[in-house]
Structure 1
């Protein structure tokens, strides 16, 4: 599946903001990766904690993300 459409839409929604290193803090996670994680969580009806565990446990989830 071509995920570039989703990446473009997510960047339009959340913006292509570049992290200002002067402000400090951790850089944000990739929007597309977070979207895929949310998609898996909804498809498999998983809580945040269960989704985190599945990402560590299931190779298929890691490949998808």
Structure 2
């Protein structure tokens, strides 16, 4: 069940959806559950021996997809998930948003266990089957600086 803030986000997102959201069409077309099979052996916190609970594997894969599509650093990814309604919708309006450290640790875990290539190959296979072409974008952040106007003549 949604809490009040999630309800508000979903209502606000409806306007974005009316304007067109490419991320949503990608998200609805991909079989995200197949990635869980690839990643579940990397975690032991779902077993009797316990372990620190981790964020959902699909949430983390979707986070990496956003990062890759928009050419974002770990910090920028965290910031943009908070800032972009379409990013939150793509991730399913999670209760916990991955922070930059969690993103970094997740990528390190994938690399260390030789899973990163498996993830991208499966995603690419699905996109190819759907006839999607992926173009990588870059989000830019504008900064304002105060310039010295000089002396009036």
Q: What TM-score, normalized by structure 2, do the two folds share? A: 0.35
Query: SS of the counterpart of 1:28?
Result: coil
Higher Cα Rg: structure 1 or 2?
2
Distance 1:33 1:42, change over 3 A: same
Structure 1: runs of 5+ lacking an equivalent: none
Matching residue of 1:38: 64
Matched pairs, number: 60
CA RMSD of the aligned region, Å? 2.0
Structure 2: runs of 5+ lacking an equivalent: 1-29, 92-153
Matching residue of 1:2: 31
Q: 1:62 aligns with which of 88, 95, 101?
A: 88
Q: Which of the two has greater helix per residue?
A: 1
Q: What TM-score, normalized by structure 1, do the two folds share? A: 0.74
